Amino acid sequence: MRYELTDRATIEYLLNEQGFHFSKNLGQNFIIDPEVCPRIARKSGISKDCGVIEIGPGIGVLTAQLCELAGKVVSIEVDKKLLPVLDKTLADFDNSKIIYGDVLKTDLDKLIDEEFGEGRVCVCANLPYYITTPIIMRLLTATKKIDSITVMVQKEAADRLCAEVGSRNSGAITAAVNYYSEAEKLFDVGKSSFYPSPKVDSSVIRLNLRKEPPVKVSDEKLFFSVIKAAFGQRRKTALNSLSSGLGMPKSDIASALTKCGFEPTVRAETMTLEDFAALTDALSGK
């Protein structure tokens, strides 16, 4: 039996049966606009030769659309109360598997090996917004086996994730996203497309993972520490932020900045990935 998963009465019936109450803490806002999930699934570029990881299936409204297009869909859900609901709503699909757990504690590399083997793997999800950055960082760094990440996030987060590095809207996450992927904003989704309706607007973005980073970095760990420290205190100059964030004397930072041709007043949001790479080399004495 197929349930109308964008219909409020159906949603309430399915959830009430399990004594389910929406949790703000778990970012539970389910999609009720019938056009949104098919659009996300289409734009994610998945096909029958592709395995999909979904984070937070909720009652399975996006999952069902993904199952129509993909070879296999593995969805990770942390709320136990939703599992019996998903058993019902996805009963018709033999290519859906639900894993109970916290995505931030899941070994994604192992999951991909076990569930998809060597095939192409994409991520597609309406993310729980309260952990957008840690999820994105984990997807970008925990495995090299993901092809693309198509996710709905809060609109402001989308603007930051898809900003150009070196522009006013950029932050440490922008630099990381750009290092690992090419980011594009796909479309906006208004508050009324969700139940319950959230306070913020949303956007769907797609990150296409790069085969090689766009800049050569001699010490990747230091590179990301430099970026994190540089953006650590947004209203300060890079010199002050780097000195306190890295615990290094200002004089050392100042001479590294000068060596790279920067003014001492330079700010992190004007620096490009190439700039951060050069600064990392200068700080490590290379």
Q: Which of residues 9-38 bind ligand SAM (CB under 6 A)?
A: 26-31
58 vs 245 by CB, closer to ligand SAM: 58
12 vs 220 by CB, closer to ligand SAM: 12
* 56 belongs to the binding site for ligand SAM (CB under 6 A): yes
Q: Please give the C-alpha separations between residue 167 and each of 5, 142, 221, in angstroms, as whole numbers.
A: 40, 27, 23
* 53 belongs to the binding site for ligand SAM (CB under 6 A): no
Give the pairing of strands 202-209 and 148-154.
antiparallel
Instruction: Determine which residue in the list 70, 78, 146, 227 makes contact with ligand SAM, applying CB under 6 A.
Output: 78
Give the binding-site size for ligand SAM (rule: CB under 6 A).
23
Least distance between ligand SAM and beta carbon 92 (Å): 18
* 102 belongs to the binding site for ligand SAM (CB under 6 A): yes
138 vs 185 by CB, closer to ligand SAM: 138
Contacts of 121 (CB under 8 A, 6+ apart): 50, 51, 52, 53, 112, 145, 146, 147
- Which residues is 124 bridged to in the sheet? 150
Respond yes or no on whether the N-terminal peptide bond of residue 196 is cis (omega within 30° of 0).
Answer: yes
Read out DSSP for 119-153? SEEEEEEE--GGGHHHHHHHHHHS-S---EEEEEE
Give the integer Cα–Cα distance in Å for 1 and 26: 28
Residue nearest to ligand SAM (CB): 56
* 57 belongs to the binding site for ligand SAM (CB under 6 A): yes
- Which residues is 97 bridged to in the sheet? 74
Least distance between ligand SAM and beta carbon 50 (Å): 18
* 252 belongs to the binding site for ligand SAM (CB under 6 A): no
Give the integer Cα–Cα distance in Å for 121 and 55: 14
Site track for ligand SAM across 115-154, x = CB under 6 A: -----------x-x--x-----------------------
If we measure between CA atoms, which residue out of 170, 78, 80 comes closest to residue 128?
Answer: 78
Burial of 262 (0-12, 13-18, 19+ CB in 10 A): buried
Residue 235: φ, ψ to 5°: -85, -5
* 111 belongs to the binding site for ligand SAM (CB under 6 A): no
* 73 belongs to the binding site for ligand SAM (CB under 6 A): no
153 vs 242 by CB, closer to ligand SAM: 153
Q: List residues binding ligand SAM (CB under 6 A).
A: 26-31, 55-58, 61-62, 76-79, 82, 102-104, 126, 128, 131
